[in-house]
Structure formats: C-alpha cells, structure tokens
Amino acid sequence: MNNGIDENATIAVAKLYHCWITGLVLGLNTHKGESLSAEFVYRLFRRQHLDKFLPGLKKLGLDQLPHAIAAAKYHYFSNQIGGVKVEYFEESDRKAWIRYPPPRWIWAGTALCAVPTSVNNAMLRGWHSHNGVTLNNPRLGFVCTGTTVDGAPGLEGYYFEYDRELSPEERLRFAKDESCPHINPTTLPKLDIDTWPLIRQAKAYRNYSMEYIRNGLPLLLELLGQIEGQRFGCLCGTQVGMQLYDEVSQHLNIVDNDAPAFIDLLEILLRASGDEITRTNNTVIRTAWRLFADSDKPLPLTEVWRAPFSGLLAAHNRFLRLAHESTDRFSIEIRPD
C-alpha cells in the first residue's frame, strides 16, 4: 500500500466528518426533538465563534477593517478556504453582505429538507449575532434576509452598524422583504492556486469539517449525559459510516472486503486525519490523536469517535468487528466474531 497521503484520502476524511456533523443534527432533530437540536446547533456555533473568530480576523489580516466589513469578509474567506460556496458584497463601511448560495454546506444534499427553521436560525444566533459582542461593538448586528431551509435561493444577510447600542434580542434581525444585490462572481477574490494547491485546499476542507466534530462530540455528551450521549452518538456515527462506505472506499481504491483491506482503509484515513500511527499486520496503533490532542479523552468520547469506523467496517464486511484498547496508546485490531 502507498503510505503517501494524497488529496483523495484527505477529501475522504473531510467528507466523513462533514456528513457526521450533519447526521448528528438530523438525528437529534428526529430522536430528541427540534428544541434540543436547535440548542445543540446554537452551542456548537457559539463555541466555534469563541474559538475561531478573533484569531481568524488577525490571521486573515481583517482586524483593522470597519467591523461590518471585517465580520462579513471573515465569513467569506474562512468559508471559502473550507470549501463552502460563499459570496460577499460591500455596500458601505457600515453595511456588508454575506451570501451562501445553494448547495448549503452544513445541510448537505437532501438533508436540507429535514432542517427546521429554528435549527437553522440557531446557527445565526450562535455565531452571526455575537460578532458585535466579541468585537466590543454593541452597535453591530446581523440582518438575515433569506434562508435556504425556508425556500430562498441561499442563506443571505448583512452586517450593519447602527447608530445606537443594540439589545441582545436586536443583534439578530430577520427582514425577508430585503434581498442581497446582484454579485458578479468574477469580481470575488479567488484562492491563488499557487498558494492554495489542491492538496492544501483538501486539507483545509478536512480541518474545517473535523473542527465541527471536535467541538460537537463533547457538546453532545454535555447535552445528553455521558450514557445517553454515548448510545445516541454511536448510533449516528455507525449509520454515517455505513452510508459513506462506498464513497470512501472508492476514494481510497479499496477493492477487497477482507480484514487486511479494511486495515488499509483505516490506516489511510487515520494518517489523512493527521494522526501518527504504526501498523503491524492487522493491528493499527495510534500514538498521537490530532482531533483531541489537547483535551481529556473520557471513554464515552472515544467510543463515539470510533462509531463511524465501526459503520465503515459493517458495510465493508459484516462478519468482521473492531477490537480496541481504551488507552492513550490506541490500538485497533480486526478479528472475526
């Protein structure tokens, strides 16, 4: 097997984590109710915001811009780097539009049809409405003018700096009678292919997708409790792995359905995730876990994380199972039931 990690392997990892976060939200909505699903999305995007927004502004060189422009440009550049379809329009120093045309990244494919308005809006409450607070500008708010879950041709809205301080409930406003001006795609900044070759773009998509799971799994355990969170998280993860097996295996050129072939798949996925591993025959030992490198790893968290790989194996060969040790030196072994 070729141990080199190419863009196909990296994209396979990104796709797995991308569908996983969407599946968790849909699963919560179906099995736990719209209110809890919305709370999960709200807390998830607030965590992402608090972790990423200010450091991202500096990294992208946007921290000295007027706040409305800085906020909108942050969404444009960070989402574009992550592989999300996005547009930007600067109307004035105090008003800047951001638009996410279909297909919506977070609600991939037909998942869009199952996302309630309140769950979608929780994303805006968690992130967009809080940019002014984080920037220490109580006059900055976000006005949403359309959402794809309600049938509009994209999620769109604008950051606006008012003449007065906003109350918490005014930081996010909905104005369906307004619409984003026409944006000529040829005028939008593009990623420089020399600076952003395909493998770097693939890694950015991977990192973007994995970040949702890095924040989402601990949050799931907080909301549901460790016992139910582990049960529910494992169910969703297993389902996602089974559904994605054909696509993942094709990306990785996995043809056979025996144990060595699955170990090949597992090794490629872990390496493409940024993990450090060693392999001996049908055993993979991970010595460094990139996703949760700086956090505690309680057993329920590691069990939920393993679930998509169990799902992949179930679709690969239902007469095989994963065996593993619950230690920092994480090992995975394939053996018949």
Helices (H) and strands (E) in the chain, counts: 9, 9
- CATH topology for 7-187 is Muramoyl-pentapeptide Carboxypeptidase; domain 2 (3.30.1380)
Per-residue pLDDT of the chain (337 residues; tens, 9 = 90+): 545 568 899 999 999 999 999 999 999 999 999 999 999 999 999 999 999 999 999 988 999 999 999 999 999 999 988 889 999 999 999 999 999 999 999 998 999 999 999 999 999 999 999 999 999 999 999 999 999 999 999 999 999 999 999 999 999 999 999 999 999 988 897 777 788 888 888 888 999 999 999 999 999 999 999 999 999 999 999 999 999 999 999 999 999 999 899 999 999 999 999 999 888 877 888 888 888 887 676 778 888 999 999 999 999 999 888 887 654 455 566 665 5
Q: 9: part of which helix (H) or strand (E)?
A: helix 7-31
Q: Are strands 172-174 and 155-161 parallel, antiparallel or unpaired?
A: unpaired
Length of the chain: 337
pTM above 0.85, yes or no: yes
* Domain boundaries, given as residue ranges, for the chain: 7-187, 243-336
